[in-house]
Amino acid sequence: QLQLQESGSGLVRPSQTLSLTCGVSGGSISSGGYSWIWIRQPPGKGLEGIGHIYQNGDAYYTPSLKSRVTISVDRSKNNFYLKLRSVTAADTAVYYCARMTTHYIDNWGQGTLVTVSS
Amino acid sequence: SYDLTQPPSVSVSPGQTASIACSGDKLGDKFVCWYQQKPGQSPVLVIYQDTERPSGIPERFSGSNSGNTATLTISGTQAMDEADFYCQAWDSGTVVFGGGTKLTVL
């Protein structure tokens, strides 16, 4: 059974870079037909897509975050990654990694809370 | 950017039918899916490709999509169905979520 697990710093200073890792187990990140996605949810608010990446490394980002985001993949480690630069308090959220197939998300990680504060 | 609009809240009595709408420009031309999220939990897919139900999702969950509106319908709503529901579509190579609807069963 596929499992995804987010890890990384839970506290980031303003203007710094948020870095998260998503570890994939129970399946290969190189499997065809899937992309790997980051989503966030500010406390008490709705879901927001950040971007996704295919196993060949092609990445696509939500326009509002595109200038600050990089998503990458390491097939040898079965991981994919999120970097969000120049963070502010508005970036405080639960960050989810997930697997996407044919435009819908069929497996989610448990999420990790990242707080931006000095 | 593409916007999906949902009502903030919907209330339903136990055993009755709940309908949650999701509207967007020419939404019927896109595939829509729906997620259920209970407090403190990750979202769970309940409908994909407008009308399809993943394995393990009760038959009382159904979906439709036409024109500018997609609808999630829960027939015979149970107390356990109380949750936030999000619609999602795909536009210009990225995922787009609706703002979410809180379903209250009372």
What's the confidence (pLDDT) of residue B92?
A: 86
Structure letter (DSSP) for residue A90: G
- What pLDDT was estimated at residue A76? 94
Establish how many alpha carbons lie within 13 A of residue A40's alpha carbon, considering only the half-sphere containing its beta carbon.
Answer: 21
Q: Pick the closest to residue B87 from B43, B38, B22 (CA basis).
A: B22
The answer to whether the Cβ–Cβ distance between A47 and B96 falls below 8 Å is no
**CB pairs < 8 Å spanning A and B:** 60
Residue A83 CA: distances (Å) to CA of A34, A61, B7, B49: 21, 12, 33, 31
pLDDT of residue B93: 87
Q: Which DSSP category does A32 fall into?
A: T
Q: Residues of chain A with pLDDT > 70: what percent?
A: 100
Q: Which residue has the tokens 């031309």?
A: B29
Contact A51 B94 (CB under 8 A): yes
A3 in contact with B at a CB cutoff of 8 Å? no
CB contact at 8 A, A78 and A22: no
The whole-number average pLDDT for the span A97-110 is 94
Looking up tokens 């196993």 gives A55
SS3 at position B45 = strand
Q: Which residues of B touch A39 (CB under 8 A)?
A: 95
Structure tokens at A76: 């040898």
Q: List, in sequence order, every residue forming a beta bridge with B20; answer none if it has no partner.
A: B72
